[in-house]
Structure 1
Amino acid sequence: MITTVIRTMPPFIMMMADLEEAGPVDESVLTEQHLHRSSFITTEGYRGVQFIEHGRKLNQWELDHPAVLDLLRQSGFYYISRLRRLQLDQALLGALIERWRRETQTFHFRHGEMTITLQDVAVISGLRVDGAPVTGTTVYPWPDICQALLGVVPDDIRAGQIRLDWIYQQFHHLHLDAPAGLVAATARAYILYQIGCSLFPNPTGYRVHLKWLPLIADFDACGALAWGAAALAYLYRALGSAALKGKVECCCFATLVQIWAWDHLHVGRPTSVGAVADMADCPMGCRYDI
């Protein structure tokens, strides 16, 4: 007598079978599935994405000069200067990029969609998200701009970019009795350093474009700009590019993404988190000072 045994396919086997047809059932919204990295995992294998943010450079600059801090408050960069950059959790960030879709600018999870909003940027970083747009031109006599706003011209200006290390070495040490002009130049240098290290980083890791410098010439005008909105737009573009096939790096405000994930997903979140009551002079992202 022959007994036939019928076994139900385990759920994980069914899920593996479904991977052969990865992607949305209805492509009316997610129209770029053929470009997304998830379409090539089964055929070309997994290639991770390295998130790049030059946080170590930024953390080395300790600001304690009262006059410089006052100018940072005036320009809207004081709160983000309190936010220390984290050791990036590449596994967490890599898992998130697999779920990012640039068609909707959202992460697609099994329970639905989530995204980083302007409110998240304001709460986590303290940057202004309303105000005038951050726009300008890249056509300037850069040596003249540096002389007028920094008081010194770097020797190595390439394609309108200067070295981050040069900014740090030139301006990180400031005497308490420094003249007002040098104090203002140091504040501008720090903001430019913050921009190049974190808000709008580039993959080279050692240069920042001088196109930002005219925007921080006047501290009141700088404080009226929506730097948080600009940083979020830059982040969206970086995530959208990194989510495509063949991309191996994502250069962006990665600390913001990681803190957002800790706050909303609680994956890999530190067990020790600062109390909200201690955040009177800092953005909420400072709770994760690890």
Structure 2
Amino acid sequence: MGSLIKNDGHISNTVNNMGPYRALRGRVNDLGYSLDERLMPYLELAGFGSIALIRTFDLWYDLISKLVKRWRPVTHAFHLQCGESTVTLEDVALQLELLIDGSAVTGISAIAEPVSLCYSLLIVSPADAEFNFTSLKFSWLKANFEHLSINATEHEVMCAARAYIMHIIGGLLMLDANNNRVHLMYLPLLSDLQNVRSYSWVSAILAILYYELFRTTKPDSVDIGGCLLLL
């Protein structure tokens, strides 16, 4: 591996030099709460219907750690004894049933009026005292959207669908291993649920996974994020 990586800063060199064993950590991947069947038409409209059916699963972090030791950042590939292998756009599209082609998933990192944005698209917002918040806690999403009223209007159901998609994005597809939150910059992309499928979510998911694999090749990294289900 040392001859393949040729990088003193790579975790594989630490292992080759008899350094301490490192097992990466990550958050438990699940969607937080049971899916209300009334949300499904809107999740399917947005292109997230299949992903919404994924339930809690266990990750083998020892195996993921071993894969990271085989990751070469220059080629974005795992160097294995049988040759090179990697996660491709097609892999992501087939496993998650998302489209590859589409507009880039981009957003504003600092939302000017986050409270107004949440009231507009979710009907509810975190404490008004937090004027400058940039993310939503999963616990807050669960507390406010887990139990949908039996008399919920179509608008309320659509808002609950947006909240569920936010949980999917931050808890499964593009998760941050150090944070139990999802960034608010994704919420404006969900304003028109019919338009959500026009974005290339596959490209964004793969880019973040590649970044996490690159970042965790550093020996001092202990947490890994991204869509680990793909590994």
Matched, 1:147 2:126: no
5+ residue gaps, structure 2, are none
Q: Contact 2:11–2:218 (CA<8 Å) still a contact in 1?
A: yes
Matched, 1:97 2:68: yes
Alignment match, 1:87: 58
Question: Where in structure 2 are the equivalents of 1:121-200 lying within 5 Å?
Answer: 121-140=92-111, 141-155=113-127, 157=130, 159-200=133-174
Give 1:244 deviation, angstroms. 1.8
Structure 2: distance between partners of 1:130 and 1:53: 29
Alignment match, 1:280: none
Task: Give the SS at the match of 1:108.
Answer: strand
Matched, 1:115 2:94: no
Q: Contact 1:132–1:224 (CA<8 Å) still a contact in 2?
A: yes
Structure 1: distance between partners of 2:47 and 2:64: 28
Alignment match, 2:36: 64
Give 1:177 deviation, angstroms. 3.2
Instruction: Work out which of the two has the higher radius of gyration on C-alpha atoms and give 1 or 2.
Output: 1
Alignment match, 1:224: 198
- Between 189-198 and 76-85, report the one with greater CA deviation: 76-85
Give 1:204 deviation, angstroms. 3.2
Structure 2: distance between partners of 1:232 and 1:169: 30
Q: Contact 2:162–2:190 (CA<8 Å) still a contact in 1?
A: yes
Letter of the structure 2 residue corresponding to residue 224 of structure 1: S
Alignment match, 2:188: 214
5+ residue gaps, structure 1, are 1-21, 258-290
Change (3 A) 1:85 1:118: farther
Q: Contact 1:150–1:189 (CA<8 Å) still a contact in 2?
A: yes
Question: What is the CA RMSD across the aligned residues, in angstroms?
Answer: 1.9
Task: Give the SS at the match of 1:61.
Answer: coil
Structure 2: distance between partners of 1:179 and 1:159: 28
Structure 2: distance between partners of 1:194 and 1:242: 23
Aligned length: 228
Change (3 A) 1:233 1:226: same
The C-alpha deviation readout for 1:135-181, integer Å capped at 9, x for no partner, is 12123211110111111111175641121101011001113431011
Structure 2: distance between partners of 1:200 and 1:250: 11
Task: Give the SS at the match of 1:55.
Answer: coil
Change (3 A) 1:78 1:53: farther
Picking from 49, 63, 66, the partner of 1:78 is 49
Q: Contact 2:73–2:214 (CA<8 Å) still a contact in 1?
A: yes
Alignment match, 1:271: none
Alignment match, 1:288: none
Change (3 A) 1:170 1:163: same
Matched, 1:23 2:23: no
Change (3 A) 1:77 1:53: farther
Give 1:42 deviation, angstroms. 4.1
The C-alpha deviation readout for 1:107-145, integer Å capped at 9, x for no partner, is 001121000111111111112222111012123211110
Q: Contact 2:2–2:16 (CA<8 Å) still a contact in 1?
A: no
Give 1:65 deviation, angstroms. 2.4
Task: Give the SS at the match of 2:3.
Answer: coil
Task: Give the SS at the match of 2:33.
Answer: coil
